[in-house]
Structure 1
Amino acid sequence: MRLRALLTLTVGVALAMGANAQVIQQGSMPPLDGQEGQGALPNRLAGQVGIIEALGNTVPTDLTFLNEEGAPVQLASILEDGRPLAIAFVYHSCPMLCSLVLDGVADAVAETDLDLGQDYQVLAVSMDPRDTPSRADSAKAKYARRGDLGDLDAFHLWTVGEEYESSVQRLADAVGFKYAYDVRTGEYAHSGALVLLSPEAKVTRYLYGINYAGRDFKLGLVEASEGTVGTAFDRFLITCYEYDEDAQSYSLQVLTLTKIGGALLMLLFGGLLAFYWRREVNRTPDGWDDARPAAA
């Protein structure tokens, strides 16, 4: 009887787990950012979400947004000082992904030794016209409490409202960021990524995901600025690294390092040869250098 009861309980647990797994597999879990349980977009949004890289494309800078105080501002206002810009697309009622993207940006800012405000700026622009400047300001206050981000005047959280809704769509189109509003869930389906712009508003690099390695973030900004930010060593590093599309990160260029190493060895050997050649030239026929002091 005990054995039969144990078998019955085991079968019941197995059936319950199987049923639960089937529910998850069928995607009946609550959607997240327009995605279903397994992370796949529903068919109604297929083809409307993703990133089509537009490297080298110039973004229109006359786009108008609302800053955290509710004042209209144009994109040109944070590019005219010659610093590169990192852009993230978010919205503040997002159930999870957008806060993770912003946290990832803040972590990258804190990790890099480039100075926010002095070397570059960050812009998180809302794709949801229902977001208000006060809501963006509340989100910014969260990052102000960290105390490790530097100049928060260069950490912008802009919204659009209904008046400037077309601005975020034009900006997204210019950089190839495709997002879609799901009327069934009231949420936006979108990807997690950072888009880096040069001071001339050209798209220079995409950093994907929600965690941005400090090295990749820094090298991307140095690349976007064409070497005008960072130290001389940073500008040297960008010649030794290249962006690996498969790994989606910067990796060492072995060929470049080999060339640099070969050039340094040639300089070293050339210097040694020159030293010994001059030494031989200065020798007298009796084998002593001309510079030898005369005997008293």
Structure 2
Amino acid sequence: MTTWTPIARFLVAVAATVSPGAQVMAGVVTAQIRTVAAAPAPNAELPLDLGFLDDSGRRVTLAGAFGGKSAVVIFADYTCRSLCGPVLEFTVNGLAKTGLTPGADYRLVVIGLDPRDGIDAARTMRAEHMDGTSPIGQAAVFLTGGDHEIRAATQAAGLRYYYDAEHDQFAHPAAVYVVDSIGHIRRVLSPLGLDGGDLRLAIVDTGHGAVGTLADRIHLLCYGYDPVKGIYTERITTMLELAALATLVVLAGGISLMVARERRSAPT
């Protein structure tokens, strides 16, 4: 699966410039920026047997967090002072515009990047960046885990990040993963310009026919996922170009036949 690393690098650079101590931190990020990416391997899948704690203190596997549904997965530093909170808000706002039903059609799963962050940090991020009483909030699961579980999940997701010990922050790509119910990573979307249409198409695409309407599936025929940009783009232009080319070929063939017939019927 192709990554949209340029966007990831841009977002990390933005994070560096808006964070406290930006001038010092920017140098660190610049030196490490090439190691940061969201690049899952083809047919990558998250290990659903990994065990975490949710923000209620209950032990749960990724399979339990998914609940047999497609999942929108975000990796976040719960004590992040730059982009993690806004990325969560962008995603929640996008999900609210999909028209899909939280809990029934999908789950929102947030996985903490820092093994030192406990459930209090997860609860704080939830409280500060989403309405926990909303349908999406009730279908959201915030997970904390140990170093082994976090590394296993991030490696499976192809998420490469860098820990800046001096500023106690993680430089990581802002990525929104859309994963099917059995853990296969199907899409990596950019939160930059993320909208309800992209999220709906991605979730429907991973739902194996169980999510969305017939109109959605027809819509997917006219749209294609662009892994470089991390968004869905219209394929209709390409389809029209191919149709126009086919029309020209048919017309040229027809004209050639007419000319050939006239030559054969012309008196010698």
Superposition TM-score tier, normalisation by shorter sequence? 0.7 to 0.9
1:114 aligned partner: 100
Distance 1:76 1:146 in 2: 22
Unaligned runs of 5+ in 2: 1-15, 245-268
The 5 Å alignment of 1:18-37 reads: 32=19
Contact preservation (8 Å) 1:33, 1:189 = no
Are positions 1:51 and 2:38 aligned together?
yes
Give secondary structure in 1 for the equivalent of 2:35.
coil
Distance 1:224 1:168 in 2: 24
Measured at CA, do residues 40 and 154 of structure 1 come closer, stay the same or move farther in structure 2, by a change above 3 Å?
Answer: farther
- Among 143, 157, 173, the alignment partner of 1:158 is 143
Question: Shift in Å at residue 80 of structure 1?
Answer: 4.8
Distance 2:221 2:21 in 1: 40
Question: Shift in Å at residue 165 of structure 1?
Answer: 2.1
Contact preservation (8 Å) 2:92, 2:136 = no
Distance 1:33 1:242 in 2: 39
The residue type equivalent to 1:109 in the other structure is: L
1:83-125 CA-partner distances (Å, limit 9, x unpaired): 1111101012101110011111111111110111110001111
Are positions 1:206 and 2:188 aligned together?
yes
Give secondary structure in 2 for the equivalent of 1:65.
strand
TM-score when scaled to structure 1? 0.68
Distance 1:42 1:144 in 2: 29
Question: Shift in Å at residue 144 of structure 1?
Answer: 5.3
Largest Rg, 1 or 2: 1
Distance 2:22 2:175 in 1: 16
Question: Shift in Å at residue 75 of structure 1?
Answer: 0.4
1:127 aligned partner: 113
Distance 2:171 2:21 in 1: 4
Contact preservation (8 Å) 2:132, 2:138 = no
Question: Shift in Å at residue 174 of structure 1?
Answer: 0.4
Are positions 1:70 and 2:57 aligned together?
yes
Contact preservation (8 Å) 2:52, 2:149 = yes
1:181 aligned partner: 163
1:20 aligned partner: none
Comparing both chains, which one has the higher relative contact order based on Cα–Cα distances under 8 Å and sequence gaps of 6 or more?
2
1:139-197 CA-partner distances (Å, limit 9, x unpaired): 223455376x425332111112xxx2211111110010111211121111111010111
Percentage of pairs with the same residue:
25
Give secondary structure in 2 for the equivalent of 1:223.
helix
1:201-238 CA-partner distances (Å, limit 9, x unpaired): 10100001344211111101111112220112112211
Distance 2:26 2:220 in 1: 35
Q: How many residues align?
A: 228
Measured at CA, do residues 57 and 142 of structure 1 come closer, stay the same or move farther in structure 2, by a change above 3 Å?
Answer: same
Give secondary structure in 1 for the equivalent of 2:74.
strand
| Greater percentage in helix | 2
Distance 1:38 1:67 in 2: 31
- Among 75, 86, 96, the alignment partner of 1:100 is 86
Distance 2:27 2:102 in 1: 36
Give secondary structure in 2 for the equivalent of 1:123.
strand
Give secondary structure in 2 for the equivalent of 1:140.
helix
1:221 aligned partner: 203
